[in-house]
Amino acid sequence: MDEILFEARGGVGLVTLNRPQALNALTLAMVRALDARLRAWAGDPEVRCVVIQGAGDRAFCAGGDIRALYDSGKSKSDTLTADFYREEYRLNRLIKRYPKPYVALIDGVVMGGGVGVSVHGSHRIATERTLFAMPETGIGLFPDVGGSYFLPRCPGRVGFYLGLTGARIKAADCLYAGIATHHVPFSALDALVGALREGTGSAVTDIVSRFATPAGEATLERDRAGIDRCFAAASVEAIQAALEADGSEWAKGARTSMGEKSPACEKVALRQLERGAVLPFEDCMVMEFRLSQRAMAAHDFYEGVRAAVIDKDRAPKWHPASLAEVSEAEVEGWFAPLPGGDLDFP
């Protein structure tokens, strides 16, 4: 079975991520195929817009194929740990700068790499089944695929909260945070694609808006004052102290979630988001490629994947084991230029 499917019909280039048994997790082959097809469709006058969806009824895309990255990094038998991130980030940039409407049908689980092939598009459609998260610090990574750019640009400190806690949010919160642009019921997605195919002369936004419905109350809006107050603190330790002092239920949950994550990656992620807030998109991706290669050379990614995916004991032994043991020099070292050369965009 092909891992990714393409169909151009009625002016719509339709992409289907086709690994439902793996929650449509991205492989390097899928990244390469999507990049090539998007470039071809960009110059095809018969394709007015692109629509991307996930196969099955559980996920749009739950991330990258971290087991393949784990195996590659452990064996050091190939260059996947560099090639995957380099080509994935170039794809993210292609989507961000795409010259035609790019409509992501974010139905079901969307995390990590799935966010990268959706959130940078012009139209991001959430459904009542959408479940978004950026949980990377829980497996020894950092909120990548452009998280440096879009998370700090969420309202207030909402993006810092999402990136440091890995909080899972649904459609209303995705709209509030700017992660989604519209809410369309799952039952209407096929009709929406059909309308896009029939909509010669109609703006994509107008067509999508005809199918959009209210998504309900956003819990992020309810908790926003506390989020802005606590996550404005200058260090991970200070954020945790502010959450403890707050004492509300959401603050207790956020404090617990942060305490389960890699201490080193929490500190790296906070600095990443602070820097990303003032960087253009391409510079964010250069920074993230540096971070990805430092993560692939560090202990916590392999320990995090072991605990979450391989042994599934949910008990990672992080190194360093506490925030106090993570030095300023160690954090800064993640951001240094790569000896082998930084990411570029040919």
Query: pLDDT tens, 279-314?
Result: 999 999 999 999 999 999 999 999 999 999 999 999
Q: Which of 3, 136, 288, 303 is catalytic?
A: 136
Number of domains in the chain: 1
Q: What is the mean pLDDT of the chain?
A: 97
Provide the residue range defining the domain that includes 260. Answer: 4-334
Residue 344, domain member (yes or no):
no
Residue 72, domain member (yes or no):
yes
Q: Among this protein's residues, is 228 annotated catalytic? A: no
Tens-digit pLDDT profile for residues 219-249: 999 999 999 999 999 999 999 999 999 999 9
Question: Which whole number is the average pLDDT over 317-345?
Answer: 97
Tens-digit pLDDT profile for residues 146-198: 999 999 999 999 999 999 999 999 999 999 999 999 999 999 999 999 999 99
Residue 340, domain member (yes or no):
no
What is residue 1's predicted lDDT score, i.e. its pLDDT? Answer: 65
Q: Among this protein's residues, is 113 annotated catalytic? A: yes
What is residue 112's predicted lDDT score, i.e. its pLDDT? Answer: 95
Q: Which of 3, 65, 88, 144 is catalytic?
A: 144
Residue 75, domain member (yes or no):
yes
303-310 CB contacts, 8 Å cutoff, 24+ apart:
303/140, 304/138, 304/139, 304/140, 304/141, 304/262, 305/66, 305/67, 305/69, 305/70, 305/139, 305/140, 306/70, 308/138, 308/139, 309/66, 309/67, 309/70, 309/139, 310/67, 310/70
**CATH code of residue 111:** 3.90.226.10
Residue in the block written with tokens 């979450």:
308
Residue 44, domain member (yes or no):
yes
User: Do 263 and 325 contact (CB within 8 A), yes or no?
Assistant: yes
User: Do 31 and 274 contact (CB within 8 A), yes or no?
Assistant: no
Residue 14, domain member (yes or no):
yes
Q: Among this protein's residues, is 144 annotated catalytic? A: yes
The tokens of 1 are what?
A: 């079975």
Question: Which whole number is the average pLDDT over 269-274?
Answer: 98
Residue 346, domain member (yes or no):
no
Residue 15, domain member (yes or no):
yes
Tens-digit pLDDT profile for residues 113-159: 999 999 999 999 999 999 999 999 999 999 999 999 999 999 999 99
CA 224, CA 220: separation in Å to the nearest integer?
A: 6
Q: Among this protein's residues, is 342 annotated catalytic? A: no
Q: Which of 113, 116, 121, 276 is catalytic?
A: 113
Q: Evaluate if pTM is beyond 0.85.
A: yes
Tens-digit pLDDT profile for residues 12-70: 999 999 999 999 999 999 999 999 999 999 999 999 999 999 999 999 999 999 999 99
What is residue 163's predicted lDDT score, i.e. its pLDDT? Answer: 98
Lowest mean pLDDT among 159-163, 198-202, 214-218, 250-254: 198-202
Query: pLDDT band at residue 77, thresholds of 50, 70 and 90?
Result: confident
Q: Would you say residue 259 has pLDDT above 80?
A: yes
Q: Would you say residue 200 has pLDDT above 80?
A: no
Q: Which of 13, 64, 147, 159 is catalytic?
A: 64
- Closest Cα partner for 285 from 92, 20, 79? 92
Report the percentage of the chain scoring pLDDT > 90: 98
